[in-house]
Amino acid sequence: AQTVTQSQPEMSVQEAETVTLSCTYDTSESDYYLFWYKQPPSRQMILVIRQEAYKQQNATENRFSVNFQKAAKSFSLKISDSQLGDAAMYFCAYRSPGTQGGSEKLVFGKGTKLTVNP
């Protein structure tokens, strides 16, 4: 079974600075998808960024980018120019491609709580 590990329960960053959240995963599959979700205090789960394992290029979404190291099974999230609104729990998630619709469950890490200091 796949597992996802986030080794940093909590992180803090100064506003406008850069922070990197770590994530490693364990799988024997070669084809899969990786995600970072954000959960602010409102509780809503929001997709931040997605990476397909077959793509060598790291995904970027505005201030958010990933460092995907397939051989090392590592998928870190970098947040540049941190803003107060970035404060939230961040979850790394793994997903197999699945053999049929509905079988592609998300496997989550335990989350990293990010605090942004003004």
Distances (CA, A) of 71 to 26, 51, 74: 11, 15, 8
**Footprint (CB under 8 A) of other proteins, residues 82-111:** 89, 91, 95, 97-98, 100-108, 110-111
| Start-to-end Cα distance in the chain | 41
Please tell me the distance from the alpha carbon of residue 39 to that of residue 16, in angstroms, as a whole number. Answer: 20
Q: Which stretch binds other proteins (CB under 8 A): 17-25, 39-47, 60-68, 75-83?
A: 39-47
Considering beta carbons, is residue 43 or 71 the nearer one to other proteins? 43
Question: Binders of other proteins among 4-33, rule CB under 8 A?
Answer: 33
Q: Which residue has the tokens 């469950």?
A: 105
* Residue 41 lies near other proteins (rule: CB under 8 A): no
Residues 43-82, one symbol each (x = binds other proteins by CB under 8 A, - = not), give xxx-x--x-x------------------------------
Measured from the CB atom, is 18 or 54 closer to other proteins?
54
Please spell the DSSP secondary structure of 36-103, one letter per residue. EEEE-TT---EEEEEEETT--SPPEETTEEEEEETTTTEEEEEE-S--GGG-EEEEEEEE---SSTT-
Site of interaction with other proteins (CB under 8 A) = 33, 35, 39, 42-45, 47, 50, 52, 89, 91, 95, 97-98, 100-108, 110-111
